[in-house]
Amino acid sequence: MSDSTQPYRVLARKYRPQSFGDLLGQDAMVQTLANAIKRGRLAHAFLMTGVRGVGKTSTARLIAKALNCVGPDGQGGPTIDPCCVCEPCRAIAEGRHIDIIEMDAASHTGIDDVREIIEAVRYAAVSARYKMYIIDEAHMLSKQAWNGLLKTLEEPPAHVKFLFATTEVNKVPITVLSRCQRFDLRRIPADVLTAHFGRVAQAEAVNAEEEALALIARAAEGSARDGLSILDQAIAHAESGDGAPHVTAAQVRDMLGLSDRGSVRRLMAALLEGDGPAVMAMVRDQHELGVEPVALMRGLLETAHAVTVAKAGRNAPDPAQSVEEREALADWASQLGFGALHRLWQLLLKGHDEVATAIMPIEACEMALLRVVHAASMPDPGDIARMLAGGALMAPEAAASAPVASTQGSSARLPQRVEDLVELLWQAGRGQLAQHFHDCAAIARFAPPELALRLTRPWPHGDFARDLAMALKDVTGGAWQVREAGAEPVEPTLMEQEAARAEQARSAILATPVVQAAMAAFPDAELVEDDPSAQWSIAT
């Protein structure tokens, strides 16, 4: 039959990996398998897990090839590089090998299906070196089916191997996981997918722009199968120039319903400048062009994330970014602080969730972005706290008459007593930290901004000294040195001091003649505290 009369095979099937060298982004797993085959340390059961389209079932078939390959001369043994020309290799690739049994657990979920396997494993392979069972979507097997398979899975005959593939490994019983050699297949990096799609496009005689392939790779989210399906669709959507389809970035954006990245950058700039009218106009323009509001919010989230990682110092460029976009991200990263970027992310993330569930998505999008605009015009909460602590925020008439603070007055911002430090933490919303400091911190040295302490009870959230130093830096605007006290003598904790003062006051009251006479008249009476202001009374 000629090529023109053969039915079309989609790219995801046509370019399925036929050797471990074709497997994308799974080098660690391939190396582990190669060493196991070379040293003869082959497990009797393998479990492949990972998101859709990363090669779980393909890997299972490649393992079947690797363990059953006999080489072109028929004398070879197990190898990480199967020849793909011997009869076992070709039969496995074509899905017709009698000893390689594939089962879809989604449609064979019960104990009866597993019972057939248990009965069949007793018999040796017909022509292969190993009889192999590839069970796809293994998490769909019922509890009874897994229980029936457990004993066979733990001690199978030497000629049998089990290969499980699943996207939801958390649904596989732990008793099964403990009997398998597990491989977690990684999401395929976007740059690897972009290069792969370029090779596929070249093999298909398709002209594709680099940016278009990068957009497809990003939309694939680490899945080769998803990406090839999108590429298939893009080729069908593309216009033919000189006889060959030409896939452009603009066509891919239209096909996927993505917002133009340049428009997203302009919208982000308007948000950061606090230009409400411009933001509203841009949102409506994008909506009229057919861009979904949730896609617009997603584009802004991606931009905010890209700015943040650029500020954090990630040097590897995103292949989907143009030169103009990288320059814009670098410019924003140099101007914005991490605090502002994190608040921007939280506002956009909340807005995205609102838009995704709103009955009026475009209106929800506008309201969410206007919230970001108004937040952009507000000062940083940390700056407000520092200005309040330094007296920089006051009424205009007071500010006019206030003297200019000297540069040596910064110590006035620091708490002068341990009690003041606790109160400062409470006022700043760090109640849990303030309470633990009050109850459990025995002070060895208090000389702000230096503090040495010893905890009477551990801090349940990690490093107390570090957390306290960071909180005090945020509250006071200056760096603190907080350390654990060594063998130094320490003062009682504030809670212990308060308890000691209360006991001292109680003893003083009990020592007064009036109270002693009352206690003598009423032997069962007790001295109790009426309220937190330490008003005492005698209860009979």
Residues 51 and 119 in one domain: yes
Indicate the residue among 224, 256, 288 that finishes a domain: 256
CATH of residue 317's domain is 1.20.272.10
Inside any domain, residue 493: no
Indicate the residue among 161, 184, 207 that finishes a domain: 184
- Which of these, 129, 128, 131, 130, lies nearest to 119 by C-alpha position? 131
Q: How many CB atoms lie within 10 A of CB 226?
A: 20
| 3-state SS assignment for residue 441 | strand
Task: In whole angstroms, give the CA distance from residue 527 to residue 502.
Answer: 12
Residues 158 and 41 in one domain: yes
The average pLDDT across 131-136 equals: 88
Residues 332 and 206 in one domain: no
Residue 285 pLDDT exceeds 60: yes
Say how many domains are in the chain.
5
The average pLDDT across 355-363 equals: 90
Residue 109 pLDDT exceeds 50: yes
Helix and strand numbers (H, E) in the chain are 24, 13
Long-range contacts of 111-115 (CB under 8 A, 24+ apart): 111/142, 111/144, 111/145, 111/148, 113/145, 114/141, 114/145, 114/148, 114/149, 115/148
- Predicted confidence (pLDDT) per residue in 217-261, tens digit: 888 888 888 888 888 888 887 776 666 788 888 788 777 765 567
Q: Looking at residue 5, what is its pLDDT?
A: 58
Residue of higher predicted confidence among 13 and 257 = 13
**Which residue spans within 105-206 are E strands per DSSP?**
131-136, 160-166, 181-184
> Under 8 Å CB-to-CB from 36, ≥6 apart: which residues?
42, 43
The runs of H, that is alpha helices, within 204-337 are: 210-220, 224-237, 249-256, 261-273, 276-288, 293-312, 323-335
**Least confident window among 21-35, 192-206, 369-383, 456-470:** 369-383
Indicate the residue among 228, 256, 284 that finishes a domain: 256
- Which of these, 245, 182, 248, lies nearest to 209 by C-alpha position? 248
User: Please, which pLDDT band fits residue 427 given cuts at 50, 70 and 90?
Assistant: confident
Peptide bond into 513 cis (omega under 30): no
Domain of residue 332, residue span: 261-376
Inside any domain, residue 469: yes
Inside any domain, residue 496: no
Residues 362 and 477 in one domain: no
Phi-psi region of 50 (alpha: psi -120 to 50; beta: other; left: phi over 0): left
**Least confident window among 47-51, 245-249, 488-492, 516-520:** 516-520
Q: How many CB atoms lie within 10 A of CB 342?
A: 12
Residues 146 and 204 in one domain: no
CB 25 within 8 Å of CB 195: no
User: Please, which pLDDT band fits residue 367 given cuts at 50, 70 and 90?
Assistant: very high
Task: In whole angstroms, give the CA distance from residue 435 to residue 456.
Answer: 13
Residues 152 and 70 in one domain: yes
Q: Structure pTM?
A: 0.56
Inside any domain, residue 449: yes
Residues 305 and 424 in one domain: no
CATH of residue 212's domain is 1.10.8.60
